[in-house]
Amino acid sequence: MGFWTTSLALKLETGHGAIQWHVANKGELLAAANAKTLTRALATPAPGTPPRLAIHAVALGVFTAIEAHSWLGPQLFAVPWQPAMVQLWEQIGRPVEELGVAEDSLFTAVSTLVSYIVGVGSQNAANSRSPAAQGNRTDFLDAVAARWASLDPVEHSFVRRVAGQLRAHDDREEFLAGIDIIVSGLLAQR
């Protein structure tokens, strides 16, 4: 574990031995960090919370955690059986069940939502840390929107049409709108 234990030992002001007593390898260490980080993000919705709002709360908690800890998203996808991912599936699965999704569609419904939540959260975190995005977000989005608007009008008619929306969008609102599109599709299938 060399580098990892040295860095962690310095951060925690402890020794290698203390860390190695609790975790056998880097994988265990990452799983523990994932579980701790995600557990703080996944507050259990209050009893009686409508399913859509419960899904929103869990989704925003994960989105915010990944935004703060960009390593979290890729680590969740890397080991799908780890406790943090199981906890996320449970927290999304319960309100999806409450929506009345058919038993034979539950796995696909929850898988789609979890993939969207972790995937979009990870992409947002990566975008915000990219060299091009460093600095003023408004300037960055203006530059991307201007580039989209300047594309060939025949070959890229759609991208040109939505360039203005890119310039003015809010990541969290767009994220929740995507959740609502998925949930609306689930409700339409009932």
Is residue 133 assigned to a domain? yes
The end-to-end CA distance of the chain, in Å, is 50
Contacting residues for 152 by C-beta, under 8 A, at least 6 apart: none
d(CA 136, CA 3): 34
What residues make up the domain containing 157? 44-189
Q: Does 12 fall in a domain?
A: no
What is the pLDDT averaged over residues 174-180?
96
Q: Is residue 9 part of a domain?
A: no
Asked if the structure places residue 185 within a domain, the reply is yes
Q: Tell me which residue of 117, 109, 112, 114 sits closest to 63, measured CA to CA.
A: 117
pLDDT in tens, 142-159: 888 999 999 999 999 999
CB 62 within 8 A of CB 41: yes
pTM of the model: 0.78
Average pLDDT over residues 16-44: 62
Count how many domains the chain has.
1
Residues 6+ apart with CB under 8 A from 89: 110, 114
| Confidence class for position 141, pLDDT limits 50, 70, 90 | confident
Q: Residue 10 CA to chain centroid, in angstroms? A: 29
Angle CA 138–179–124, to nearest 5: 35
What CATH number is associated with residue 115?
A: 1.10.357.10
pLDDT in tens, 50-71: 999 999 999 999 999 888 888 7
Lowest mean pLDDT among 33-47, 74-88, 109-123, 166-180: 33-47
How many Cα neighbours within 13 Å face the side chain of 152?
2
Indicate the burial class of 155 (C-beta count within 10 angstroms; 0-12, 13-18, 19 or more).
exposed
Q: What is the pLDDT of residue 185?
A: 94
Residue 19 lies in a domain: no
138 has a pLDDT exceeding 70:
yes
Q: What is the pLDDT of residue 12?
A: 45
Band (46; pLDDT cuts 50, 70, 90): confident
Averaged pLDDT, 31-54 = 76
